[in-house]
Amino acid sequence: MMQGMRIVGGTPLNGTVKISGAKNLALPALVATLLTDAKITFSNVPNLSDVNCILSLLESLGSKYENDTKGTITISTPTILSHIAPYDIVRKMRASILVLGPLLARNHAAKVSLPGGCAIGARGVEMHLEALKLMGVDIALNDGYIDASAKKGLFGANIKLPFPTVTGTENVLMAATLAKGKTRIQNAAKEPEISALIDLLTLMGAKIEGKGTSEIIVNGVDSLRGTCFEIMSDRIEAGTYAIAAAITKGKLFLEGARYCDLKIFLDTLQNSGLTVLENENGITIAGRDSIKPCSISTGPYPGFPTDLQAQYTSLMTVANGTSTITENIFENRFMHIPELLRLGANISIHGNTATVNGVKSLKGAQVMATDLRASVSLVLAGLAAQGTTIVNRLYHLDRGYEALETKLKLCGANIERFNI
């Protein structure tokens, strides 16, 4: 059933938001369980449709899991029963491509549908495939599927990624843990979620050097073991609620958020005149009546996160002046802007740069979500707008934000979900 969200804006948000586990770690971490036949128990797993999707995919491959609905999942794959990741599941989420490396490492064969997910750019898998070829994988593209085999197993290789792709780094990293010999990954992505994935793999018995750097060295081992692992807090969710505080001129304590994961973003908020206070349990964000314009340019970590670009654009629509937003990662990540215009924003786009002229206030209207981060940017704009905003196509939102309206309501938001 299609759902919408009704928001009556104009109320400052105040209170505490508990930040959920990181979606962008939970997905590769769950996939990594394919590398062993032992049980792995995860805590702080967010309850998201993307997580449920990856669990369905793993189950189709032979995994068995127990989910207590409180964020703890125990999963094991005693035997790979199928090496085929079908279109019906993979089309829903691009992260499904992550099963390719682990299946090849453990099963020496994989047939994975070309992925779907948010329509925010090409995000091709060519980098994954070229890297795996260097490890001894034969690859063919047939009828929309990646048909891959490594009859003699995987072998260590020197791999230089042309771009620090997150999922590409994760795919090669997981594959390399069971490869014969040493794999050197150059120009690797450095996101905190990759460092956390390395922590998980190390607990499982992998031999990995270079965590947090652009060069990762993996010495393959014969097998991996089970372990227990806690999913880190979601830095993108934390950044989203930081903007919720800023755009509503409120004050929120983001429980579990880590400054070190969001330094460039939080520094930008401070440059916009907001108060950012860190303590050992989280971060406090306090808004102000006048928001200073501040231009940003997205880039690979530790640069400004592309996953916070849409939300930050919403904030700049009500800044006191003009800012520019340059998107360097995904070519289609301005699809939220036509919807912000419906709310009264003043934005023009030239190539990969949006010029945002702040307005005194936004006005409620009906808008439509086009992808995960665009959807929440419209919710943020609705929280600041005069009158009522209706956000349609919420299934995008549910892919990456756990109990969003519940968390916002507890901080004073006038927001409700309804069936269309």
- pLDDT 10s digits, 82-114: 999 988 888 878 788 999 999 999 999 999 988
Mean pLDDT is lowest, of 237-246, 285-294, 298-307, 366-375, for: 366-375
In angstroms, the CA 292 to CA 77 distance is 52
| Annotated catalytic residue 118 | yes
Spatial CB neighbours of 134, under 8 Å, sequence gap ≥ 6: 157, 158, 159
More confident residue, 387 or 398: 387
Q: What integer is the mean pLDDT of 254-273?
A: 97
In angstroms, the CA 42 to CA 407 distance is 23
Q: pLDDT tens digits for 297-355?
A: 999 999 999 999 999 999 999 999 999 999 999 777 798 999 999 999 999 999 999 99
Spatial CB neighbours of 399, under 8 Å, sequence gap ≥ 6: 23, 48, 49, 50, 93, 372
For residue 94, the model assigns a pLDDT of 78
Among candidates 102, 251, 262, 127, which has minimal Cα distance to 192?
262
What is the number of other CB atoms lying within 10 angstroms of the CB of residue 287? 27
Is it the case that residue 395 has pLDDT exceeding 90?
A: no
In the chain, CATH 3.65.10.10 covers 3-19+233-419, 23-228
Residue 401 and residue 238 in contact, taking contact as beta carbons nearer than 8 Å? no
For residue 91, the model assigns a pLDDT of 80
In angstroms, the CA 255 to CA 206 distance is 32
- What's 12's DSSP letter? P
Residue 220 and residue 180 in contact, taking contact as beta carbons nearer than 8 Å? yes
How many residues in total does the chain contain? 420
Architecture of the 3-19+233-419 domain: Alpha-beta prism (3.65)
- pTM for the whole thing? 0.96
Q: Which of 118, 228, 260, 294 is catalytic?
A: 118
Among candidates 239, 225, 322, 338, which has minimal Cα distance to 24?
239
Q: pLDDT tens digits for 208-220?
A: 999 999 999 999 9
Residue 340 and residue 313 in contact, taking contact as beta carbons nearer than 8 Å? yes
The angle formed by the CA atoms of residues 363, 365 and 370, to the nearest 5 degrees, is 120
Is it the case that residue 372 has pLDDT exceeding 90?
A: no
Place of tokens 């003009």: 322
For a pLDDT cut of 70, what percent of the chain falls above it?
98
Q: What integer is the mean pLDDT of 348-368?
A: 97
Cα distances (angstroms) measured from residue 338 to each of 60, 105, 271, 382: 39, 44, 27, 14
Q: What integer is the mean pLDDT of 263-277?
A: 98
pLDDT band at 116 (very low <50, low <70, confident <90, very high): low
For residue 122, the model assigns a pLDDT of 38
Residue 354 and residue 324 in contact, taking contact as beta carbons nearer than 8 Å? yes
Superfamily of domain 23-228: Enolpyruvate transferase domain (3.65.10.10)
Distance of CA 319 to the CA centre of its chain: 26
Mean pLDDT is lowest, of 137-151, 238-252, 400-414, for: 137-151
